[in-house]
Each structure stands twice: as C-alpha cells, then as structure tokens.
Amino acid sequence: MTDMLDVPRGTESRLDRLKALVLDEAQRQNLISAQSMETFDERHLQDSLQLAPLIRPGVLLDIGSGAGFPGMVLACVRTDRCHLVEPRARRAAFLSAVTADLGLTEHVDIHACKIERVALPPVQTITARAVASLDRLFAMAAHIADEKTRWVLPKGRSAASELAEARKTWQGDFRLVASSTDRDAAIVIAEGVRRRRAR
C-alpha cells in the first residue's frame, strides 16, 4: 500500500505495519478521521515523510503525536532519538504499544503528558502537526529549545497568516516550504527563535 513512498523495503514494511496498527486502533478510539482513511498513505504517511529531509541530525521531539503523525513515521526512518509527546492517556498507551511492536524502543520515548511538563535539554528539531498556532507552539516548547533548534511545522493553508501573527511576538529566521501533499499548504521552518523584547 505504500508503493508510492520512496523508502527502503525494510522501512516500507514497518510503515505498512504502522498503518495496520492505526487502522485497527481507530475502531476503538478516534485516532484519525474516517475520510482520511481512504487516502491514508498520502494524508498521513507521505505528509509525514516529506518532513524527513528538513529534520536536523540529533534529537527530535514531536508535540501532540496523536496517532503517530509525524513523529512515529519519522522514527521509522531515523536512528537518532525521538521523543513523542502525547497528553491523552489512551493515545500515549497506543504509541507505546506501537513503539514496541515496530521494534523502536531503543531510540523512541513516549511522554504521556503535556509538552510544558517535558524536561529535556534543548533538542535539535521540533515537529508538530495540527496542535496549536505558531505563537502558542513557540511558547509551549520554548523550554526545550534554544537558538540552534529547528522547528519543522506543517501548518496547512494558514501557514502564512500564522507566521505573520507569530512575528509580532517572536523573532528568528523563518521560511515557508511548499507541501508536497497539498498544493495550498506549507511547512514553516523556523530557526533562532526567541521572544521579542518589549520596547
């Protein structure tokens, strides 16, 4: 089912298994929308995999991982440590079970709490999909980021407007990258993010 994905065969098998686990669990809890089940590979797998070339080597942290997108998908193609943060207990339990099933326990950690409660040194990359506005994301995770952290944030069609709003409070190097799965969507890449000083 993932033949359109340009990944090694071993990784493709792992992604196929992830898909099967998500679809099975979706019968018990609301992991993904019914509509997105019909376009699962593009909507969830490819949409997550397009972030991989934008991720820096080193520790990755994914905020609000939910069903595992993009964090678990990225963990399938990386060997560096990945932290997946999911405050909803049932979803966090599911992610823990998936981590074990896919054989990722050596480099994947699941945090069953809000991002504000995660205590880690600054990470190299932060991802988040459909979690909060840019301004809110920067505030929520500022304690596990520094000016070397790269934020890779798929923001859909609201990317430009959210970035304009965030610039009122935050400064840094920001750019938009076109999404390969939605011609109207974009990914925000942010580096050197710091709060603007009050004048």
Walking along the chain (199 residues) 10 residues at a time, the average pLDDT comes out as: 56 94 93 83 92 97 97 96 98 98 97 98 96 95 97 93 95 96 94 87
- Give the model's pLDDT for residue 57: 97
In this prediction, residue 193 carries a pLDDT of: 97
pLDDT at 5: 56
Report, in this order, helix, strand and coil percent for the chain, each rounded to 5. 40, 20, 40
All domains of the chain in start order, with CATH: 9-195 (3.40.50.150)
**Tokens of residue 181, six digits:** 């799965």
pLDDT of residue 38: 81
Degrees to nearest 5, angle at CA 51 with 106 and 137: 90
